[in-house]
Amino acid sequence: MFAVHLLAFHFTKLKEDQITKVDRFLHQLRLSDDVLQDVAARFQAEMLKGLARDTNPTAAVKMLPSFVRSLPDGSEKGEFLAVDLGGSQLRAHQVRVSDDGKQSSQLESKFYPTPKEVTQGNGAELFDYIADCLSDFMDTRNLKQKKLPLGFTFSFPCKQTKLDEGVLLEWTKHFRVRGVQGTDVVSSLHRALQKHQDIDVDVLALVNDTVGTMMTCGYDDPRCEVGLIIGTGTNACYMEEMRHISLVEGDEGRMCINTEWGAFGDDGALDDLRTEFDRELDLGSLNPGKQLFEKMISSLYLGELVRLILLKMTKEGLLFNGKVSAALLTKGKIEMKHVSAMEKYKEGLSNTREILTELKLFPSEEDCVAVQHVCTIVSFRSANLCAAALAAILTRLRDNKKLLRMRTTVGIDGGLYKTHPRRLHPSTTRVPAGLALSPRAQLQHPASPKCLWGETPHIQIAKVSVGMRAELEYGLKREAQGQATVKMLPTYVCGMPDGTEKGKFLALDLGGTNFRVLLVKIKSGRRRSVQMYNKIFAIPLEIMQGTGEELFDHIVQCIADFLDYMGIKGARLPLGFTFSFPCRQTSIDKGTLVGWTKGFKATDCEGEDVVDMLREAIRRRNEFDLDIVAVVNDTVGTMMTCGYEDPNCEIGLIAGTVVAKWPLREGSTYVEYEKMTSGMYLGEIVREILIDLTKQGLLFRGHISESLRKRGIFETKFLSQIESFSRILQETVKELAPQCDVTFMLSEDGSGKGAALITAVAKRLHNVGQK
Ligand code: GLC
């Protein structure tokens, strides 16, 4: 034990030392809140400079009018083609948009490589290549006979005078194609397409990827008015008031401006923040002196930045025993994918070791920790710089609208944002002005600012855990009975199965989705096994909500059916009754219903002993007799079933139609905690949230559809596809109770098998008692 502690201490110390060392070395890359506010202010000033006609020619941030004046309004329809050039690959898309009331779009895409001959060759070859890819795509999609309009996403700064014309101002990122700068790229593409006799496409619009992103998100969310890319390059666009755009005639309405923020700092505006590594990276790039902001942020450059930092640290003897490898000296050897892998939450350190070893650097434990921290600092600065410029745009939008508080949506795309383990997110990024980010995110929810800025979910969950523990303890006290919200009901189940149980048992299961009757055959000894036969019966709503007598008569009718079906009507078998509602028990076969839950409402049951009610119904029918041994909650059945396999099992938990009856509120018909967690209610909670967001105009263009109005449209099975409930449950438990080593075992039919096992154990103990 001591050794383990010593090791843990050693590792913590090692980590602290390395982190301090790197922090000290890279202090210039760590930007304080004040600095970031200042960056936002500088970017605000740059935007103004770019927007005004007389200062635009010398402005670094070009603020290019896109001639996109409105966002989609949902009435769009038809079939379109798109080609997208500017990221790591060339992409061709077929988009089908329908306005059949469902407002849906379909997208089919194909990716094509962009080798160096294409990105750094000559213009004619580039456009021929794009036309060839498009022709191939139309071939694979069987579209050659159609005349289709085409959108050309060309993610480079272009001066547009209309939607279907754009003169390339400058190549950026990894592109440097001869003979294109200063020419209209739409007509070049048009010319290349004309060489293909077998296709007929009409290039209708030239679009920057930021604008495409804003439009795509705008199709789903009318509030979207900013588009942001954080991928190979970085850039943003937003809707600006026409009256502020002096480069375009007219004052009415708005137009989307492609800021081309990647060039922020090209006039020296960020020189005080750029480090020797930024300068070195720039000097070795395709376009020295250009896109300086982009070079601090986007994925094309972060790997190289990390490499330059590691190289310098090694040369100064701070890493790898001062031994530089040939790989570390080679430009481009560290890429963004490596940085991401090294920063991964769990595997990060082992990835780091692997990557460094491949670079022939022979890293020690200390080296790995330090290198990982270098990656973190570089990524963190990237996210923070992006956030600062975005905050400037958001502040501008808010000022334009003369609002004190503003709600808006930012459409975001780009590989770095989507795949980097540390996302640009409010928890890792500081966005001034009370704004928070998420992909396609709605910004600033005034009703629940706490969610964003207050307690972290961890603290909230830890509080629930502490609160629950207090409730559990209170519920156990004699004086609490009747008042405790968490009832802590004794079950009179005192022993676990010991493997000697055997015989035939009946089990009833009421309280799940259906009512079931089961025959359970338990064998002990070497042929130890449990065999089950069951029949499922629906309980009609009028019976669930009729009188208690009707309910129990129906139950007995189902039992009679089952006994008939199994041919065992004469046998007086011991029976366990799984009754999954809160019951106050005074013995194992007596349970008074405290209150119905889960939609049951039968009258004259609450406060009554359900075993008595069942016995009376059997008597009324007067056809057979049963030996009711135990009344069981499904959680107890579950614990017993698992206990039969694993003697260490001592907790039973249900997270299905219902979670174990924890805080039951006296006097209220529903169980509140249960509503937040159980399958039966989760779908409804999701539906309510969607309705609420739609009412606020944040979803579905503010239109609440008929189906959304229908109760129960979201079944739990859909929700479980969205999130892995069990993973979250298990990981959170591990975090909150780190001292407990818990095995989570899926119970096989706790309600059926468990009831039989409880009955068997009760019989065994009873016999022992009698002896
Ligand atoms: C570069 C381009 C810009 C593009 C961005 C993201 O910054 O200049 O037009 O939007 O990369 O792809």
- Whether the per-residue pLDDT at 261 is higher than 80: the answer is yes
Beta bridge partners of 79: 96
Is 516 known to be catalytic?
yes
- Whether the per-residue pLDDT at 140 is higher than 80: the answer is yes
Length of the chain: 771
- Report d(CA 413, CA 229) in Å as an integer: 5
Query: What element of type H or E holds 205?
Result: strand 200-207
Distance 296 CA to ligand 1 centre (A): 14
User: Comparing C-alpha atoms, which of 636, 573, 593, 582 is closest to residue 763?
Assistant: 573
* Ligand 1 nearest atom to the CA of residue 261, by list position: 7
- Whether the per-residue pLDDT at 157 is higher than 80: the answer is yes
Is 465 known to be catalytic?
no
Catalytic residue among 155, 285, 298, 580: 580
* Ligand 1 nearest atom to the CA of residue 172, by list position: 8
Beta bridge partners of 158: 168
Amino acid present at 315: K
Cβ count near 586 (within 10 Å): 11
Report residue 434's pLDDT band, with 50, 70 and 90 as the boundaries. very low
Residue found by looking up tokens 């008569």 in the block: 553
Q: Which two tokens stand for residue 14?
A: 């090692």
- Phi, psi of 530, rounded to the nearest 5 degrees: -125, 125
Q: What is the pLDDT of residue 667?
A: 36
- Report d(CA 426, CA 403) in Å as an integer: 22
Alpha carbon nearest to ligand 1 atom 9, residue: 156
Q: What is the pLDDT of residue 52?
A: 94
Whole-prediction pTM: 0.58
DSSP-derived 3-state class of residue 130: helix
Q: Which residues line ligand 1 (CB under 6 A)?
A: 86, 155-157, 172-173, 208-210, 229, 231-235, 260, 262, 294
pLDDT tens track for 728-762: 666 666 666 666 666 667 666 666 777 777 777 77
Q: What is the pLDDT of residue 555?
A: 94
pLDDT tens track for 272-304: 999 999 999 999 999 999 999 999 999 999 999
Rg (CA), the chain: 34
pLDDT > 90 in the chain, percent: 41
- Whether the per-residue pLDDT at 388 is higher than 60: the answer is yes
Alpha helices in 545-590 (DSSP H): 548-566
Cβ count near 345 (within 10 Å): 7
Answer whether 151's CB lies under 8 Å from 205's CB: yes
Answer whether 388's CB lies under 8 Å from 409's CB: no
Q: What is the DSSP-derived secondary structure letter of residue 581?
A: S
Q: Which two tokens stand for residue 554?
A: 């129906």
Q: What is the DSSP-derived secondary structure letter of residue 422?
A: S
Q: What is the pLDDT of residue 183?
A: 97
Query: What element of type H or E holds 413?
Result: strand 408-413
- Report d(CA 698, CA 5) in Å as an integer: 51
Q: Which two tokens stand for residue 761?
A: 């154990």
Is 747 known to be catalytic?
no
pLDDT, mean over the chain: 82
